[in-house]
Chains A and B, each alone.
Chain A
Amino acid sequence: MSEMNEAAGHLPGLLVSLDASLEREFEQAVRDSASLAVRVAFGVLRRREDAEEVAQESFTRACPKFRDLRAPEQFRAWIVRVTWRLAIDRWRAERRREARERHAGEEPGQRTVEDDAVAAERSALLWKAVDDLPEKLRAVIILSALQGHDVREVAHLLGIPEGTVKSRLFLARAALAERLTCLANDSGRR
């Protein structure tokens, strides 16, 4: 019985050390996937602060499930999908808010010096074409644009077959080509 008491006496310390080791493991997983998550969010939101907030939110959601997501590849894929979803939700909410503000008669955001620059205008045009894509095509385009992500990696991250990624990629690029041409012609006419 005394042995049992002794074991019970060590138990809290044991639990604390287990929690601590799991927490260290989680921190390492966050370090490994942080850039990917922030870039995915940035691909949708295009504001660094917003992207980091969304990435942090997805990591916070992953934390209680970390035991099931311990395998690094699984964790990365889960984080990418959740980050993408959260970023899209936030992007939609912002678009609704902006539409309401425009509807209320407010002037659209005042143009800054940077916005007037040709390069910024070109960048905005390119991103507008991406924003106009359907979500599925958009995800494939953004993830493919991330450095070191080939079709197989994108398929793994999104949990879809490679053939689907390829076909979506072709569709997305064809749509982008047409859309960009229209936008370029419109801006050239103005």
Chain B
Amino acid sequence: MSCKRFGPAIAAHAGGAALEPAAERHLGECAACRQLLDTQARLLAELDAELGRSLSIDVCPDFAARVVRGARDAGAAPARHWIPMPVWAGLGLAAAIVLAVWIRPAPVGDAGQAVDAGSRPAAPAPAPTEDVRLKAEATHTQGGLTQAQEPAVGPGSTAVGPRSLDPGRPAARRTPNVEPPVIVEPARALAIERLRELMTQGRLDEKMLPAPVTPEAALAELTIAPLEIAEIRVPDVEIVSRPPAAPQRQ
């Protein structure tokens, strides 16, 4: 019984661990356990020798070259995680060029080119400012436009801005930085034009401006239609209790 109890301690001692006093006492008394300890220690020494002998192999001299060649063939080259300075400089230059092209004002011509889309080469025209558009609007509202200058929008409103004036030609595609045409009613366009003239001449008076709309006035203008609620009828529901279904017979 004692031998079995001290077995693990003896094995650990054979492996190099210290022996506890009780196990030491038992070893002093039990010859079988002493023999077991000797056997285990001898076997472990044999194992150490075997491991040391087996694991002392050397690699072929060309092993490293073979490994590098194999890695190269497999496409697994040592990866560089950093980019040299000239590459950064080139990337920065390319980014600057792209940015410059992007923020450069678009040539005005692409809207103006369409005005006379004959054989005439596209000539750079001044950018369509708001003034020009409003003047065109004013001209239109006064009925001064020809048939060819008929706007493409509805009769009651006017599209102000660059557009194709050739009737057989679709409107020229706008560049992204050209503002969309402002569509206003003819009467309002005239008023805007008049207001602008007064502003430029310095004759604008506060009395000429409409009174500011107060919240009370805005509320007063709000009309809420009375909600008509029809009679709500709840359909009659008849609850019918059904007898439980009879079990199916097999």
* A34→B47 contact, CB < 8 A: no
Contact segment of B87-95, B162-170, B172-180: B87-95
8 Å CB contacts to B: which residues of A5-34? 7-8, 10-11, 14-15, 18-19, 22-23, 25-27, 30-31, 34
Kindly name the residue among A46, A169, A178 whose own CB sees the greatest number of chain B CB atoms within 10 A.
A178
- Distance of A67 Cα from B78 Cα, bound (Å): 7
Judge if A126 is at the interface, Cβ distance under 8 Å: yes
Contact segment of B60-68, B142-150, B224-232: B60-68
Contacting residue for B76 out of A14, A55, A63, A68, CB 8 A: A63
Contact segment of B49-57, B99-107, B202-210, B238-246: B49-57
Q: Chain A: interface secondary structure?
A: helix
Ranked 10 nearest A-B pairs via Cβ: A173-B15, A145-B51, A177-B40, A180-B43, A66-B78, A63-B71, A174-B12, A177-B11, A30-B64, A177-B14
Give B contacts to A, CB under 8 Å.
7-8, 11-12, 14-17, 36, 39-41, 43-44, 46-48, 50-52, 54-60, 63-68, 70-72, 74, 76-81, 84, 86-87, 89-90, 93
* B86→A181 contact, CB < 8 A: no
Between-chain CB contacts (< 8 Å), 27 pairs: A4-B90, A7-B89, A11-B86, A14-B86, A15-B84, A19-B80, A23-B68, A23-B78, A25-B78, A27-B64, A34-B59, A39-B56, A56-B66, A60-B70, A63-B71, A63-B77, A67-B81, A68-B81, A126-B43, A146-B55, A147-B56, A169-B16, A174-B12, A174-B17, A177-B43, A180-B40, A184-B43
